[in-house]
């Protein structure tokens, strides 16, 4: 009953915000809407397609042809249901994250029992009981349903709602051992936004762990299914566009080359606005390598035993460093963090990070107004806030990873230590 009330309240809040007179302001906020996910651009793309004009011929539409066809159908058949559809899809995302966390808790329990013999005697009190573990899914559900970032993302009817649903379905499929389901939905998410391709690594590891098969064989099968699905989606999209692959430049190419420098909560727009043109290619490559490739191998090698944590971290890092991020992406990975609430004791920067999130979330709209409307500030003010917001997210992720390492070390070696030949005890506050 409590869960039903949560869903009902969260759904009513989202539906109410969509019907506010203030909705246009929400939908056009630079923190919420980007050139990739904007509802306004989606409507324009659908209109052009309906008029027989190629929406990819200009620079207004950058969604995949599959999304184009999907929303063309909805806008033609049942436009009045669109607010309800977005609300339901966002609630479904919350439910799938809840189911994912339930599956993860089951995996975590088995892992804890498996490594019980390796745990130091004086650290066994740190092991989590069933009551503590069962709390995590409820927190995951609540954080996604009532996080202002997620609520505003849905209220603005951005296509990030769809992307979050695809990624959540893929994570649930992987944690439940459904290889084809996980691969199909991560391929759909990759086809829409490209950066979810990183998740094929933790998903492969998770599927191998859940299905208890040959790891190498499992990895190959997962990768093969993913590549086939992604290739099929690219082919179907070209078929929709009358056999033309020109859409690729205005979707993947747009994400990779970053031609639109409209301000957002990311780091790309300011750097490339200020940069000399002859350095652009070098820095585009450097930024995209940082977002797509730099962290995958080292993080996988270190956290391969915890694929859910690895997935959470890769989602967060791709959100921070992608070319067109929005607060809907941030709200999604924040909802995954309660699965690791047993690590919060070991985190040292919770208060600083929390204050930074609150302050930057309030200052962002303020300095934007001062810059654009009042003319009493400039781009440096807004970029300073977005840079602080990105820094807070980086502090959060690094603190979480260090907390995992500290807990792992303490479980194995115990909380007692020798300092200068004298016994010392680790005290957690």
pLDDT tens for the chain, 429 residues long, are 788 899 999 999 999 999 998 899 999 999 999 999 999 999 999 999 999 899 998 888 999 999 999 999 999 988 899 999 999 999 999 999 999 999 988 888 887 777 677 677 666 777 777 777 788 899 999 999 999 999 999 999 999 999 999 999 999 999 998 999 999 999 999 999 999 999 999 999 999 988 876 678 889 999 999 999 999 999 999 999 998 898 999 999 999 999 999 999 999 999 998 888 888 999 999 999 999 889 999 999 999 888 999 999 999 999 999 999 999 999 999 999 999 988 998 999 999 999 999 999 999 999 999 999 988 888 999 999 999 999 999 999 999 999 999 988 888 777 665 545 555 555 554
Q: Is 388 exposed, middle or buried (0-12, 13-18, 19+ CB in 10 A)?
A: middle
Let me know: does 14 contact 154? Beta carbons within 8 Å. yes
Give CA–CA dist 190/184, Å, rounded: 10
Q: Where is 416: in which H helix or E strand?
A: strand 416-419
Nearest in space to 166 (alpha carbons), one of 145, 188, 149: 188
Tokens 């035993």 label which residue? 305
Locate 398 and state its tokens: 């690094």
**What share of residues in the chain are helix, strand, coil (percent, to 5)?**
75, 0, 20
Give CA–CA dist 183/229, Å, rounded: 7
Instruction: Please report the pLDDT score of residue 3 as a whole number.
Output: 85
- List the helix and strand counts (H, then E) for the chain: 20, 2
Instruction: Please report the pLDDT score of residue 429 as a whole number.
Output: 47
Give CA–CA dist 57/80, Å, rounded: 29
Locate 144 and state its tokens: 């996604």
């Amino acid at each position: 009953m409590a869960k039903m009330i949560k869903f009902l309240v969260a759904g009513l809040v989202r539906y109410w915000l969509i019907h506010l007179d203030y909705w246009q302001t929400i939908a056009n906020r630079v923190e919420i809407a980007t050139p990739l996910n904007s509802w306004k651009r989606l409507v324009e793309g659908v209109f052009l397609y309906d008029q027989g004009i190629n929406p990819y011929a200009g620079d207004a539409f950058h969604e995949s042809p599959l999304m184009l066809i999907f929303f063309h159908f909805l806008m033609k058949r049942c436009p009045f249901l669109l607010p309800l559809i977005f609300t339901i899809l966002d609630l479904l995302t919350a439910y799938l994250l809840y189911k994912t966390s339930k599956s993860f808790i089951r995996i975590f329990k088995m892992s804890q029992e498996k490594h019980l013999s390796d745990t130091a005697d004086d650290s066994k009190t740190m092991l989590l009981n069933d009551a503590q573990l069962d709390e995590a899914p409820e927190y995951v559900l609540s954080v996604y349903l009532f996080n202002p970032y997620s609520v505003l993302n849905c209220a603005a009817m951005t296509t990030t709602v769809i992307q979050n649903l695809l990624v959540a379905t893929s994570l649930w499929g992987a944690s439940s051992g459904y290889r084809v389901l996980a691969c199909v939905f991560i391929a759909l998410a990759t086809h829409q936004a490209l950066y979810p391709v990183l998740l094929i690594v933790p998903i492969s590891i998770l599927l191998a762990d859940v299905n208890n098969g040959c790891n190498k064989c499992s990895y190959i099968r997962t990768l093969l299914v993913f590549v086939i699905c992604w290739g099929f989606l690219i082919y179907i999209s070209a078929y929709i566009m009358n056999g033309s692959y020109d859409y690729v430049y205005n979707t993947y190419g747009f994400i990779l080359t970053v031609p639109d420098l409209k301000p957002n909560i990311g780091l790309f727009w300011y750097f490339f606005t200020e940069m000399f043109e002859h350095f652009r290619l070098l820095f585009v490559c450097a930024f995209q390598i940082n977002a797509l490739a730099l962290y995958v191998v080292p993080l996988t090698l270190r956290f391969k035993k915890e694929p859910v944590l690895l997935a959470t971290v890769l989602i967060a890092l791709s959100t921070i460093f992608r070319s067109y991020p929005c607060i809907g992406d941030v709200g999604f990975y924040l909802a995954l963090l309660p699965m690791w609430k047993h690590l919060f004791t070991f985190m040292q920067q919770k208060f600083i990070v929390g204050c930074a999130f609150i302050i930057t979330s309030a200052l962002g709209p303020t300095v934007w107004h001062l810059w654009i409307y009042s003319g009493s500030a400039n781009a440096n003010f807004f970029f300073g806030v977005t840079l602080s917001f990105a820094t807070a997210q980086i502090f959060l992720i690094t603190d979480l990873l260090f907390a995992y390492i500290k807990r792992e070390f303490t479980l194995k070696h115990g909380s007692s230590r020798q300092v200068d030949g004298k016994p010392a005890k680790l005290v957690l506050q």
